[in-house]
A and B are shown apart, each in its own frame.
Chain A
Amino acid sequence: MVLALDSHFRASEFRILRFLGFLEGIKAGTEFRSVNCGDKTQEIGVESLQFGEEIQRLISVPQESGTSFTALLELPTTQAMKLLHSPESHETPVDLSGEVWSNGRIDRPKPYHSQSFTCPPTFLSNTALLEHASRFPLFATTENSPETSSIPSNSSANSHKVKQEPVDSDSNPDSSPIALKGATKKSKNVANEASEDGEKLPYVHVRARRGQATDSHSLAERARREKINARMKLLQELVPGCNKISGTAMVLDEIINHVQSLQRQVELLSMRLAAVDPRIDFNLDSLLAAESGSLMDSNFPGVVMPLMWPEELVNGSRQQYQQQPWHFDGLHQPVCMREEDNPNFITLENSLLSYDSSANSASLQPNQLKMEL
């Protein structure tokens, strides 16, 4: 199945190659080809940092171009670029070729051609595009938090039951107007998502998909539903054993059970740590009060957590006001230590995401602990 997917994406890549070649000439085409056929993984690592800036720049580009169609085209193409890379990289997608794309776009704002109409629907009919489009606000808002970006985007293309016109060949005049309708609808979705991020796009004209209403309410409702579905997928990935369950009700039940069990485990383990390691009481008031100042810039050093963990055990009464030196050390840690929190999160999250493999063993041992009690 992996091979089939790969060949499918290669086919769409070649189609885009043709499109690019038509628009920009040989130069851009060869650039794209060299990027594509080469080793992507290293470039992805390098380029992922620039990705955030790319997104901002590419979003702002539609403001410069006057036409609504190019506004429509801008975003889907970049999304498509992302998607072409994402199934192969399984990481934050790269927009290296998207940069080439957008540069050409600024020079030639009106690539109207009969052939160009068929090309966008071709790669826009990618199911993963819509999924990623709906995930786009999620990505954009949580750009700063690396933990969400390190969640591997599930490249299963069947999550969204979108009616797909099978446009596998360019020369299909019957399906091209239909595909165009579908394309414009999806690009309107993308435009919707981008506008949610605060950018003001020019007024977009949209044509409805077949059998769907153009009502603004229903459109918004559909966008909202897609957002919810994207987040449900995310939750399904987090909670082990949820992938097989179908239907939101059961999945939510599973999630609730999982949260409850996690909370119980946290309390249990902290009790055990307290029993093992009795320490003198520390002042919670001063802790919580002191952190109000440092949390304003949300730069609190995460390294305090490992420091605090043995100290969390509260024993005895609260009368002793002890200004623990470690406490202030934690507050005045150099800011560079804050970064430890993020890599910690990522590494631990990787270990968490391999939870499925070690799920049984991991869950058994706390149960054994409970038995010992």
Chain B
Amino acid sequence: MSSKDSHRRSQKITIAAYSSMVRAVGTRRAWSRALLFKLRSQARRGYVVKRRCFSVKKRRVTKKASSGELKQAEKLRSLVPGGEAMEFCELLEETADYIKCLATQVIRAYGKHQKGSR
């Protein structure tokens, strides 16, 4: 398998993993809604959108960054889907739920892996 094919395959796998997680959560959470939107638009377009128009959101982010936790907040926003448009308070809440969901998925995937390998 060529590297490009393997890259595409891995990309599809991660997309599938995240979409299954998002479907389990539904639209209850802001991060899942944002992730769902991103996945859907990605599927529609057929490619991943590279971040270009960042200036508008960044203006808002830097305004709120006066809370003191600048770099970490930015990093967190990049990690949690949909985090750019959130305030710091909401960001923390969404992060908590995101961590929980990720950990749940890891545990289940791991259990399934163990079960399958036997």
Contact = CB atoms under 8 A, between A and B. Distances in A.
A367 B103 CA distance: 15
A249 interface: yes
B104 A349 contact: yes
B103 A300 contact: no
B96 A235 contact: yes
Interface stretch (A102-110, A154-162, A301-309): A301-309
Interface in A132-163: 138, 144-145, 147-148
B95 A259 contact: yes
Interface string B37-59: 00110011000000000000000
B92 A355 contact: no
Contacts of A227: 89
Q: How large is the interface on B (under 10, 10 to 19, 20 to 34, 35 or more residues)?
A: 35 or more
B116 A270 contact: no
Contacts of A288: 19, 36, 39-40, 43
Interface string A362-373: 100110000000
B16 A284 contact: yes
Contacts of A147: 97, 100
B24 A341 contact: yes
Given A267-B14, A291-B23, A314-B13, A276 B113 contact: yes
B104 A252 contact: no
A296 B102 CA distance: 23
B89 A308 contact: no
Contacts of B102: 259, 262-263, 265-266
Given A256-B79, A270-B13, A284 B19 contact: yes
A273 interface: yes
B85 interface: no
Nearest to B75: A256
Contacts of A3: none
A341 to B, nearest CB: 6
A249 B43 contact: no
A239 interface: yes
A272 B113 contact: yes
B43 A270 contact: no
Nearest to A304: B23
Q: How large is the interface on A (under 10, 10 to 19, 20 to 34, 35 or more residues)?
A: 35 or more
Interface string A257-279: 01110110111011111101100
A88 interface: no
B12 to A, nearest CB: 4
A313 interface: yes
Nearest to B33: A295
Contact of B80 (A259, A274, A349): A259
Given A256-B79, A276-B117, A266 B106 contact: yes
Interface in A111-150: 138, 144-145, 147-148
Interface string A324-349: 00000000000000000100010011
Given A249-B72, A299-B26, A235 B13 contact: no
A279 B94 CA distance: 33
Contacts of B26: 295, 298-300
B109 A308 contact: no
B116 A259 contact: no
Contact of A352 (B20, B89, B107): B107
Residue picked from A249, A255, A271, most chain B C-beta under 10 Å: A255
Interface in A69-127: none
A304 B92 contact: no
A264 to B, nearest CB: 10
B86 interface: no
A338 to B, nearest CB: 9
A262 B69 contact: no
Contacts of A365: 110
A201 interface: no
Given A231-B89, A305-B23, 15 more contacts: A232-B92, A259-B80, A259-B99, A262-B102, A267-B10, A270-B109, A273-B112, A276-B117, A288-B39, A298-B28, A302-B24, A304-B20, A309-B108, A313-B16, A366-B110
20 contacts: A147-B97, A227-B89, A232-B92, A249-B69, A252-B69, A260-B79, A266-B17, A271-B10, A285-B43, A288-B39, A289-B40, A298-B26, A299-B26, A309-B108, A312-B17, A314-B15, A348-B107, A348-B108, A349-B104, A355-B103
